[in-house]
Amino acid sequence: MSYNEEYLKDDNLNINWYPGHMKKTRELVQNNLKLVDIVIELLDARIPFSSKNPEIDKIVGDKPRVVLLNKSDMCERKDLDEWIRYYEKQGIKAIPINAMNGQGINKVISECGVQTKEMMEKFNEKGRKARGIRLMIVGVPNVGKSSLINKLSGRRSTQTGDRPGVTKGKQWVKIRGNMELLDTPGILWPKFEDQEVALNLAFTRAIKDEILDVETLGLRLIEKLQKIAPEKLCERYKLDSVAETPLETMEAIGRKRGFIMGNKELDYTRIATTVLNEFRDGKIGKIVLEKPFDFSEGKVIE
């Protein structure tokens, strides 16, 4: 057995990430919450639970909120509907969007008006000067906040990039419908209590690859896909079937793609990087990594 094979059998991929600017972002959200009328919480539709920062519920409290399921084009509609129903039961409107092409954006603007209508009417009754609705957008890194703001504003008003940490500080942005939006950088929590959550964030690039063991991360993604979407994994990599173990499946993918080094050993780094990138780009198929879960009853919500 080679060094790589033995190394990849180690399942201990402990992920913890909380740079100093994340703490500052939490404080930024708290300090500016009083300036806004409604909060837009942007989630990754492929991992709505894992990309939902539990700190946000504590910080936002009873402030009106709309949940957006971004990258919905990378998900099957039936999976999106399950999550929409899940949030409906909590009294929260969830809207599937694609921040890159603008799909669903008009619904976002309309819903913000609905959520704040009573509040704005009270302002008028008190004789206060009319003003636009003020929004705050929050979400984990690389969930698509800058792309969303660009679509809302109709111009390239913020930096964008397919990596965490592009948005650096507070920005007020004029958007359609006489609204103003306060953008904040991505926010993660200090410690991942659930490593499954951390892995899902890493799979979708909410955590920088540079701080992770990419080979093991790729193996863990293959393990996940082997359980929830084996047919899509086989179709993408032209496998007759998934192997008994994720490592064997990983090796089969490597042989199919010809990822073999000069010493005739498999290039595990290249295999892992390829699978991770192709999942992130939607090339393996439309895949949601998690389903709504009722923690009080300990079961998946159908």
Tell me the Cα Rg of the chain. 21
191: pLDDT confidence band, cut at 50, 70 and 90? low
Strands of 171-175's sheet, edge to edge? 93-96, 65-70, 38-44, 133-138, 179-183, 171-175
Contact present, 157 and 149 (Cβ < 8 Å): yes
274: pLDDT confidence band, cut at 50, 70 and 90? very high
| Distance separating the N- and C-terminal Cα atoms of the chain | 43
Residues in contact with 211: Cβ distance below 8 Å, sequence separation at least 6, in sequence order: 17
Give residue 298's pLDDT: 47
Indicate if the pLDDT at residue 302 is higher than 70. Answer: no
Which residues belong to CATH 1.10.1580.10 in the chain?
A: 213-300
The annotation places the binding site at 70-73, 142-147, 186
Both tokens assigned to 201: 């964030």
Residues in contact with 21: Cβ distance below 8 Å, sequence separation at least 6, in sequence order: 165, 168, 185
Mean pLDDT over the full length of the chain: 83
**Neighbour tally for 69: CB within 10 Å:** 25
| Distance from C-alpha of 74 to C-alpha of 60, rounded to nearest angstrom | 28
Indicate if the pLDDT at residue 96 is higher than 70. Answer: yes
What 3-state DSSP class applies to 69? Answer: strand
23: pLDDT confidence band, cut at 50, 70 and 90? low
Contact present, 43 and 51 (Cβ < 8 Å): yes
What are the Cα distances from residue 78, in Å, to 22, 281, 291? 34, 20, 11
% of the chain with per-residue pLDDT over 90: 48
Q: What is the pLDDT of residues 97-134, one digit of tens each?
A: 999 999 999 999 999 989 988 888 887 777 777 678 89
Q: What is the pLDDT of residues 255-264, one digit of tens each?
A: 999 999 988 8
Indicate if the pLDDT at residue 163 is higher than 70. Answer: no
Q: What is the pLDDT of residues 217-251, one digit of tens each?
A: 999 999 999 999 999 999 999 999 999 999 999 99
Give residue 14's pLDDT: 62
pTM, rounded to two decimals: 0.83
Does the domain at 22-183 match CATH 1.10.3330.10? Answer given as no
Indicate if the pLDDT at residue 8 is higher than 80. Answer: no
**CA atoms within 13 A of residue 161's CA, in its CB half-sphere:** 11
Amino acid at 274: T
Contact present, 202 and 15 (Cβ < 8 Å): yes
Q: What is the pLDDT of residues 40-56, one digit of tens each?
A: 999 999 999 999 887 78
Contact present, 68 and 43 (Cβ < 8 Å): yes
Indicate if the pLDDT at residue 90 is higher than 90. Answer: no
The annotation places the binding site for GTP at 70-73, 142-147, 186
Both tokens assigned to 60: 């936002």
Residues in contact with 115: Cβ distance below 8 Å, sequence separation at least 6, in sequence order: 38, 64, 65, 66, 93
Place of tokens 């500080």: 169
Give residue 165's pLDDT: 40
Q: What is the pLDDT of residues 166-175, one digit of tens each?
A: 344 566 788 8
Contact present, 29 and 136 (Cβ < 8 Å): yes
Pick the CATH number of 213-300 from 2.60.40.10, 3.40.50.11030, 1.10.1580.10, 3.40.50.2300: 1.10.1580.10
Average pLDDT over residues 70-89: 95
Contact present, 270 and 259 (Cβ < 8 Å): yes
Indicate if the pLDDT at residue 181 is higher than 80. Answer: yes
What 3-state DSSP class applies to 278? Answer: helix
Give residue 295's pLDDT: 46
164: pLDDT confidence band, cut at 50, 70 and 90? very low
Which residues belong to CATH 3.40.50.300 in the chain?
A: 22-183
